[in-house]
């Protein structure tokens, strides 16, 4: 089976009816890039940069320096040989603590995590932005901002990116001045106020792991409620499909980079919602490609209204299973 899938490495991901699909890899460190290339990824859809910051002792003074980060981002972009690398700015907190001892928040998932943390530590954030920008002189890089919910967070993030660019200009350092900036859609409030994001951003990436957590109020790391963590809950499907549809209507690229994108049981459901960009762990990539090669959008389309209109879990389940039968 693995051997058969291996043959698909160079096969373009296209549905049976000829629609091209972009398959990208999620990585944690630059050393994951060879595996992404080996799996035939068209690029990196999510570089979780927090992994450069984790597992270090001490606190802010022990974070990777701008130069150290620059080397890591440059290494990733070089390893991808001209394929785009989407670097997500530090998404620290909750399930990814910077330093366990520092986590004082009662509800860390609802606390000062990700972009909230970065906006509260502007010097650290600027250093990361400069490092990413400097690496963009070596190949195509996109910037992705996690956990946005408020317009002012988007505006402050964009202002800080401009500030980092100006600092680099003053220092005579090269970068891509037209670097694209995107938002993670992973808080329900963001999905429900999408025009605010579409107006300000170049692209969107749906983080279903957190979107499910926050929509259903289920801690994604708590085993006691794991049975309630359901990607097929109608509320989750509504937020997903409306985000994909609004993005498409506005003509801005939308990807899914949460675990749902790598689940072959859900590939056709996502295709039916209009998703054309999937980013996943490299080990899932060829199996998802196999599913796409055997999928026909014409056969999926007639089932979608039923799936997205019903609130009955059993009906959703059986309809999603039915999608795979064709
Ligand atoms: C997500 O939330 O779906 C996501 C891709 O990001 P992370 O799992 O790193 O929070
Ligand atoms: Mg997330």
Reported as a single tens digit per residue, the pLDDT across 232-263 is 999 999 999 999 999 999 999 999 999 999 99
State yes or no: 48 annotated in a binding site.
yes
Cβ atoms of residues 207 and 146 within 8 Å: yes
State yes or no: 166 annotated in a binding site.
no
Q: Which residues of 50-82 are buried (b: 16+ CB within 10 A; e: fewer)?
A: bbbbeeeeeeeeebbebeebbbbbbbbbebbee
Q: Ligand 1 site: residues with CB under 6 angstroms?
A: 46, 48, 91, 186, 207-210, 257-258
Cβ atoms of residues 216 and 235 within 8 Å: yes
Q: Which residue has the higher pLDDT, 321 or 107?
A: 321
User: Quick one: which of 166, 173, 172 has its CA closest to 137?
Assistant: 173
pLDDT at residue 103 in the model: 65
Which atom of ligand 1 is the closest one to the Cα of 207? 3
pLDDT at residue 59 in the model: 56
Residue of 109, 115, 147, 184 best suited for mutating to test ligand 1, as the one with most atoms within 8 Å of CB: 184
The tokens 């990361």 sit on which residue? Answer: 128
In this structure, the residue with its CA closest to atom 6 of ligand 1 is 207
User: Model ipTM?
Assistant: 0.99
Give Cβ neighbours of residue 111 (< 8 Å, ≥ 6 apart): 93, 94, 105
Is residue 173 packed enough to be buried (19+ CB in 10 Å), middle (13-18) or exposed (0-12)? middle
pLDDT at residue 94 in the model: 74
Distance CA 255, CA 247 (A): 10
Q: Which of 61-70, 94-103, 111-120, 209-218 has the lowest mean pLDDT?
A: 94-103
CA of 323 to the centre of ligand 1 (A): 26
The dihedral built from the CA positions of residue 221, 218, 91 and 87, taken in this order, carries a sign that is positive
The DSSP call for residue 65 is: P
Which token pair is 252? 């801005």
Distance CA 239, CA 247 (A): 12
Whether residue 45 has pLDDT greater than 60: yes
Whether residue 100 has pLDDT greater than 90: no
Whether residue 196 has pLDDT greater than 90: yes
What mean pLDDT comes out for the span 8-27?
A: 97
User: What distances in angstroms separate CA 1 from CA 12, 39, 85, 139, 325, one per listed residue?
Assistant: 19, 15, 29, 35, 20
The DSSP call for residue 280 is: E
State yes or no: 83 annotated in a binding site.
no
């Amino acid at each position: 089976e693995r051997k058969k899938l291996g043959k698909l490495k160079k096969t373009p991901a296209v549905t049976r009816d000829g629609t091209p699909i972009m398959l990208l890899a999620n990585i944690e460190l630059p050393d994951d890039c060879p595996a992404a290339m080996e799996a035939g990824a068209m690029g990196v859809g999510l570089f979780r940069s927090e992994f450069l910051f984790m597992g270090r002792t001490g606190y802010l003074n022990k974070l990777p320096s701008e130069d150290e980060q620059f080397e890591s981002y440059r290494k990733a972009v070089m390893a991808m040989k001209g394929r785009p690398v989407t670097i997500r700015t530090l998404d620290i907190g909750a399930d990814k603590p910077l330093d366990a001892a520092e986590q004082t928040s009662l509800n860390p998932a609802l606390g000062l995590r990700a972009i909230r943390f970065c906006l509260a530590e502007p010097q650290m954030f600027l250093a990361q932005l400069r490092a990413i920008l400097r690496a963009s002189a070596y190949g195509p890089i996109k910037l992705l901002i996690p956990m946005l919910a408020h317009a002012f967070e988007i505006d402050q993030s964009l202002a800080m990116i401009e500030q980092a660019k100006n600092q680099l200009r003053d220092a005579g350092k090269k970068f891509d001045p037209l670097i694209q900036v995107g938002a993670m859609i992973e808080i329900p409030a963001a999905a429900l106020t999408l025009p605010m994001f579409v107006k300000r951003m170049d692209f969107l990436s749906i983080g279903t792991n957190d979107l499910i957590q926050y929509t259903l109020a289920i801690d994604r790391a708590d085993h006691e409620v794991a049975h309630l963590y359901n990607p097929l809950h109608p509320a989750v499907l509504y937020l997903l499909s409306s985000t994909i549809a609004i993005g498409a209507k506005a003509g801005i690229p939308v990807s899914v980079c949460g675990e749902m994108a790598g689940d072959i049981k859900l590939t056709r459901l996502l295709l039916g919602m209009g998703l054309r960009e999937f980013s996943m762990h490299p080990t899932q990539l060829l199996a998802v490609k196999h599913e796409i090669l055997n999928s026909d959008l014409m056969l999926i389309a007639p089932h979608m209204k039923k799936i997205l209109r019903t609130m009955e879990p059993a009906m959703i389940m059986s309809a999603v299973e039915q999608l795979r039968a064709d």
